[in-house]
Amino acid sequence: MAKQNKSKKKKRPAPQAPAAKPAQTAPAPEQPLRTAKLMAALCYLNVLILIPACTKWRHDEFVKFHLNQGLVVLALATVCAERYGVPMVFAKKAKSDNIEGGLYQSEIFSYTYKKKVTLIVAQEWIKPTDRVLIIDDFMANGYAMRGLIDIVNKAGAELAGIGVAVEKGFQRGGDSLREEGYNIHSLAIIDEANEHHIRFREGT
């Protein structure tokens, strides 16, 4: 007698709700690099430093770095100019429309930008009869300082001395200039720096 196998109906699994995708936050829009570079440049142009300092760009890390540097240079140069009763002249890294007439120029390698830049000073601001005191915030390899010295020499002026806020002594820029006879004074000289400690040169 033949047996009929009754096939058992398989229960279909209950449909499952699709897994919820984790909420994705929209990526923050990238700030235009061109505008950031412009704001960084303004940090070194005297009163124009107020533009990045008083806008949202002061929170940008790239601009903040140059804003701090620009404030140091502006403060040191202003104090020195006021103390000696002399004009304060800025060397620019690019020619702007408000610079007319002849220019003193010197091409240097920028340690900050990792490329060659040209330092510019209008000829009307430095005369052969002038004595010039160069002020800068940081000195590492001394490339920028040599460019400024070159401009003073091209103008036929006398270099009275060089003042620096912080000198990276371990990069030998300042020491090599001292060995050549230049009168350099730094508020602080860092002889060693790593993630654990900073060692300053004694007597500075």
Q: What is the pLDDT of residue 3?
A: 42
Residue 2 or 87, more confident? 87
Final residue of a domain: which of 41, 62, 87? 87
Lowest mean pLDDT segment, chosen from 5-14, 115-124, 142-151, 170-179: 5-14
pLDDT in tens, 93-132: 766 666 667 899 999 988 767 888 899 999 999 999 999 9
The answer for residues whose C-beta is within 8 angstroms of residue 191's C-beta and 6 or more apart is 169, 170, 199, 200, 201
Nearest to 95 by CA among 111, 115, 119: 119
C-alpha 149/C-alpha 8 separation (Å) is 97
Same domain, 103 and 194: yes
Statement: residue 4 has pLDDT above 50:
no
Same domain, 113 and 46: no
Q: Is 19 contained in some domain?
A: no
Final residue of a domain: which of 87, 106, 133? 87
Q: What is the pLDDT of residue 11?
A: 56
Statement: residue 152 has pLDDT above 70:
yes
Q: What is the pLDDT of residue 14?
A: 56
Q: In the predicted model, what is the mean pLDDT of the chain? A: 78
Q: What is the domain range of residue 66?
A: 32-87
Q: Is 7 contained in some domain?
A: no
User: CA 39: distance to chain centroid?
Assistant: 11
Q: Which two tokens stand for residue 118?
A: 């040209």
Residues in the chain: 204
Is 165 within 8 Å of 186 (Cβ atoms)? yes
Q: Which two tokens stand for residue 14?
A: 């209950």
Is 106 within 8 Å of 151 (Cβ atoms)? yes
Backbone φ, ψ for residue 192 (5° rounding): -155, 135
Q: What is the pLDDT of residue 84?
A: 85
